[in-house]
Chain A
Amino acid sequence: MLKPRDENELAAAVAGAKSPLRVQGGGTRPIGAPVSGDPLSVTAISGIELYEPGALTIVAKAGTPLAEIEAALAAENQRLPFEPMDHRKLLGTSGEPTIGGVVAGNVSGPRRIQAGACRDSLIGVRFVDGHGTVIKNGGRVMKNVTGYDLVKLMAGSFGTLGVLSEVSFKVLPATATTAVVLINGLDVEQAIAAMSRALCSPYEVTGVAHAVSGVEGHPVTMIRIEGFEESTTYRAAKLQTLLAEFGDSDVETDPDRTRNGWAWVRDAAKFAGTDGDIWRISVKPSDGAAVASALSGADLLFDWGGGLIWAEVAAGTDIRPMLAEVAGHATLVRASDETRTAIAPFHPEPAPLARMTHGLRKKFDPRGILNPGLMG
């Protein structure tokens, strides 16, 4: 395994590669088509470079453990706004997630609906492209329109355009208290309507999810509010009134229970260790019910007010033909290597977009050595 210790060694490793490389951070997110190639680990390029709480910015080398970054931020009562998912339970992996891996997968959690995705908080990158050249884009200020925004392009490119060496984020103050409004027993259609009602309210909800079968085995709809204590209490009560027609609701404010509940949603933990394949479906929230009926029988978890749907289906099932009438896309996140070879894990793009994507890959990685085929 190649394990460069700094950016220069990383550049030399890529420039000197004679065959494809399988780029990895902590190895906890084996998403995409299986890649054969020499493993290239970025984990030795690690450490927080700069953290300015007063400027809400942090800069870290790509191999820095996510836990190290979250601990440094927590010490200043701040956090990554986008609440990155931990894939270990869902994918049955072990190891230490890295911040570079989070960026490579544009990994975001329930707060995405209010605070944006990883790509929205990401303000700077340094990476090594397929030529072995070090490139920087963006920086460490939160407003920057100087030149093209390759920062966004790198987020979610799964190491196929370049190998990240350093990333910078805009961070936010952590919130003092959390309250969760819970409604039991809604069917999907009712749940989507309730979630939409909450999202269309002025009460700044930061998490809106619905499990067809929650921890206790029945349908549960969860709406999260965060902030100063008086404010969360006030907004939770307002939401209860607003959602009264959907049935009785409870408000949970216990810090451990709310944290664990949202980690369960964030990590799609209900699918840990199950037998089926796991798909991640991204649609317009109001299409959630259409997805549910098209996939009747599948176990579903709705996040982002219904816009993000986790579905467990029988191994080897291609759900895309069933969803042909619904705009959006579906990613096969967990399946055997054979299935992920037979069914493209990333949603095939329409021809003109595929041409752009292919063109960009050709430009950034002309030799086709960076995670070739991973994204299709």
Chain B
Amino acid sequence: MEMPTPDPGILAKKDRIVQRLQSVLPADAVIHEETETRAYECDALTAYKCPPLCAVLPANTEEVSAVLKVCHEEGVPVVPRGSGTSLAGGALPTADCVILGVARLNDVLEADYDNRVIRVQTGRTNLSVTGAVEHEDFFYAPDPSSQLACAIAGNIAMNSGGAHCLKYGVTTNNLLGVTMVLMDGTVIEVGGAHLDAPGLDLLGVICGSEGQLGVVTEATLRILRKPEGARPVLMGFNDSEVAGACVADIIKAGVLPVAIEYMDRLCIETTDKFAKAGYPDCEALLIVEVEGSEAEIDEQLGVIMQIARKHDPVELRQSTSPEESAKIWLGRKSAFGAIGQINDYMCLDGTIPVSSLPYVLKRIGEMSKEYGLQVGNVFHAGDGNMHPLILFDANKPGDLELCEAFGAEILKLCVEVGGCLTGEHGVGIEKRDLMGEQFAPEDMEAQMRVKDVFDPAWLLNPAKVFPLDVSATRRSEPPRAA
């Protein structure tokens, strides 16, 4: 993965930049010793690493503004960082950049139950937003797998999803307002506790802009009352295509489960050894969860079980207690970790039309043989958001490159059947060079125009999302060393 050559002019003035940053921040908020900047050299896409020029940890909007103002004046690129859980390399530094971490921005500013909103600083973790309101029986709906660690700032940057977005939507559907600092230090307020925009929907384009338009320091989020109850049912099938057909039939029947999760044999076996969830021995497994009162759950699961029976399941197990529900979910939620125990893996995130599921699964199986690399499939089946996990050996020369080539093939396949490169993880650097598969040059041009307006100098996270040759004329390319 190519990254821009660091600007020697910036590297040469590191001392001055650090000094200026120290003049606007508390002493412990500027990290510049080489031994310490290493902590920021990568995010969860660990295949790529590069320590930044320095890292800063501002604690409020004013400090973020002051930092950006300094960096803007000095012409230094800034890479915003939430909790560093991006699988797409969204927070990967360059040697000439300042990492702006939001970890110290973690307060709850206001919980307003009457209006069903919460205002938080964006360094707060996803799960702790729910944590702040659950004593009143409320929750924040988007639930990425990394929710224990990931920050709201990163969720907004990547428009994160989760297992329950079939019903509740993704981040953009649950975000009502932001305080954002532009690269020149200007603080803007977009949206609020009301539900719609007065003019152009700027919030809509800010969410999912991968830290390229501004640094979001505060967010107004929609909170929801917890349902009376929830109950999952586990279904095992001996054929992945049959499982796919069952998903389509459930959706067509007019029931809207909150989640429909899919796992294939490799994932079932691996996670069962790891999490001991008691999964059946079969080719494909579905976890379907519905919500409501006991009677409502019975009514909905009745319809769902009836559909499932028509597809000859090898196992059809309704949870009968909260312990059983937790156990059913435990396997799914620990899938990535379990696979990680046995192998290095690369997690893809392409989304496809649900109708193409059987075809795409079959092609992935064929490609797996061609490349000689195993693939586990675990994903959100209700919305077609796939998560193929390609297993490889990082210590084996050439294996990572082979894995990346295989991954690129899968993502091209997703686009070919009418889907997209990434459903919830973001483009970052990981999918950056594949953008041309999904978008024509003019489509990318239209997107880059938005960045031109918010960040005319292209200093915010500039080497991400758009292929480097596509963004070259906009980024201030440093003069090449003679």
Chain A residues in contact with chain B, CB under 8 A?
52-57, 76-77, 106, 108, 112-113, 116-117, 119-120, 129, 133-137, 139-153, 155-157, 160-161, 172-176, 196, 199-202, 204, 227-228, 230-231, 234-235, 282-286, 304, 307-308, 327-329, 331, 346-347, 349-350, 352-353, 356-357, 359-360, 363-364, 375-376
Contacts and interface: CB of A to CB of B under 8 A. Distances in A.
Contacts of B27: none
Contacts of B423: 141, 143-145
Contact of B254 (A135, A160, A176, A359): A176
A91 to B, nearest CB: 19
A347 B292 CA distance: 40
Given A150-B205, A231-B295, A202 B193 contact: no
B446 interface: yes
Contact of A147 (B418, B419, B447): B447
Interface string B372-393: 0000000010011100000000
A307 B426 CA distance: 32
Contacts of B115: 196, 284-286
B114 A347 contact: no
B424 to A, nearest CB: 6
Interface residues of B, number: 92
A96 to B, nearest CB: 25
Given A129-B446, A202-B228, A308-B195, A230 B202 contact: no
B205 A146 contact: no
Given A54-B248, A148-B450, A172-B256, A155 B204 contact: yes
Q: Report the 5 A-B pairs with minimum CB-CB distance, sorted nearest first.
A: A152-B204, A54-B248, A329-B198, A359-B453, A143-B423
Interface stretch (B6-14, B275-283, B348-356): B348-356
B161 interface: yes
A100 B447 CA distance: 21
7 contacts: A54-B354, A137-B446, A196-B115, A202-B137, A230-B296, A307-B194, A375-B200
Contacts of A360: 200, 449-450, 453
Contacts of A137: 443, 446-447
B299 A149 contact: no
A173 B114 contact: no
A111 B250 CA distance: 23
Nearest to B207: A149
Given A149-B159, A285-B115, 6 more contacts: A55-B353, A55-B354, A117-B195, A137-B446, A153-B201, A175-B254
A198 to B, nearest CB: 10
Which of B116, B352, B431 has the largest count of A CB atoms less than 10 A from its CB? B116
A173 B251 contact: yes
B52 interface: no
A200 B293 contact: no
Which of B192, B205, B440, B442 has the largest count of A CB atoms less than 10 A from its CB? B205
Given A150-B446, A200-B116, A143 B188 contact: no
Given A140-B353, A231-B295, A364-B446, A55 B248 contact: yes
B444 A147 contact: yes
Interface in B144-183: 158-159, 161, 165, 169-170, 172-173, 182
Nearest to A176: B254
Contacts of A174: 254
Nearest to A141: B351
Contacts of B203: 152
Nearest to B187: A352
Nearest to A327: B192
Contact of A141 (B198, B384, B465): B384
Given A54-B354, A153-B450, A147 B435 contact: yes
A56 B253 CA distance: 11
Nearest to A200: B225
Given A150-B446, A359-B453, A156 B422 contact: no
Interface in B97-144: 112-117, 137
Interface string B56-98: 0000000000000000000000000000000000000000000
Given A152-B201, A200-B114, A200-B225, A234 B296 contact: yes
B427 interface: yes
A227 B161 CA distance: 25
Contacts of B15: none
Given A54-B251, A54-B355, A228 B453 contact: no
A282 B196 contact: yes
A360 B355 CA distance: 37
Contacts of A234: 293, 295-296
A243 to B, nearest CB: 15
B240 to A, nearest CB: 16
A357 B199 contact: yes
B236 to A, nearest CB: 21
B231 interface: no
A282 B354 contact: no
A141 B443 contact: no
Nearest to B244: A54
B153 to A, nearest CB: 15
Given A139-B419, A143-B385, A201-B225, A327 B193 contact: yes
B204 A112 contact: no
A139 B228 contact: no
B286 to A, nearest CB: 15
B226 interface: yes
B420 interface: yes
B468 interface: no
A157 B114 contact: no
Nearest to B434: A146
Contact of A52 (B208, B296, B355, B419): B355
A283 to B, nearest CB: 5
B371 interface: no
B417 to A, nearest CB: 10
B37 interface: no
A174 B253 CA distance: 10
Contact of A146 (B201, B418, B421): B421
B200 A157 contact: yes
B442 A141 contact: no
B190 interface: yes
Given A145-B422, A146-B435, A149-B159, A156 B201 contact: yes
Given A140-B353, A143-B384, A148-B205, A349 B449 contact: no
